[in-house]
Structure 1
Amino acid sequence: MAYVDVDGSSGSGEDLNMLDGHKLHPVLPSGSGGGRKRSRKANGDAIVDAMLEIAAASKMRASAILKSEDRFSISKCIKVLDELQGVDERAYFLALDLFENSSSAREIFISLKGDKRLPWLLGKCVGVPSS
């Protein structure tokens, strides 16, 4: 806030806004008063707009995550697993355990080309003790 020297003759010493014997009065920026309300409203509108944009972006991100999770869901993996030829019962049930315990394994399985899925899956089953 700026101050302007208004009255240099005040010598009472009681005024708190004194500088070298000169009385100081605050100077308000131009457009103050009624403009201040408009400025606050404009700032408030800008904040509301920004918050709405953040909310919309958050919804879009959540939607994208859900679509991604749905793409690599256990049910999707089972559907693809059921379509594979040459999967024996042991490998089938080990695959179900793998899909249940690892979202990254589900993503890899679905992302692999069809002819690579069974060899990858059987490789995961190697060394797993049979029940």
Structure 2
Amino acid sequence: MAAHQERSIASAHRDRSVSAAHQDRSVSSAHQDRSVLSAHQDRSVLAAHQDKSVLAAHQDRSVLAAHQDRSVLAAQRAVLAAQRAVLAAQRAVLAAQRAFSASQRVSRLPTTLSWLRTKILNLIGLSLSGSFSLGCSAG
């Protein structure tokens, strides 16, 4: 009977050892599961941060593009204003040229009037001398 008890005790020790080994494996497996889960959570958090970073970069690019669009629009407006100023200056030059041309015509007017007066007097003189000579010959 002592041998039977020893076998029973040995069997119980083996059962306990097997049970303890199974428990150790279960605990180890649970720890591995937790580690894997933690790693997946870390990856998910990292992916979320990367998504936020990418989104922020896209937003930054959108804001930059909007600022560039505004800058281009402002530059186009400045060019248009400069073109209008050039056109106004060209109109002023044309008006000055017309005024100068008109003043030249006015300054030549007294010379033209003097020439015309001389011609008229010469014609009157010729006319008078012609009628005088005609009158003399008739008389």
TM-score (norm 1): 0.40
Q: Which has the larger radius of gyration?
A: 2
Q: TM-score, normalised by structure 2?
A: 0.38
Greater share of strand residues, 1 or 2?
A: 1
RCO comparison, higher one (Cα < 8 Å, 6+): 1
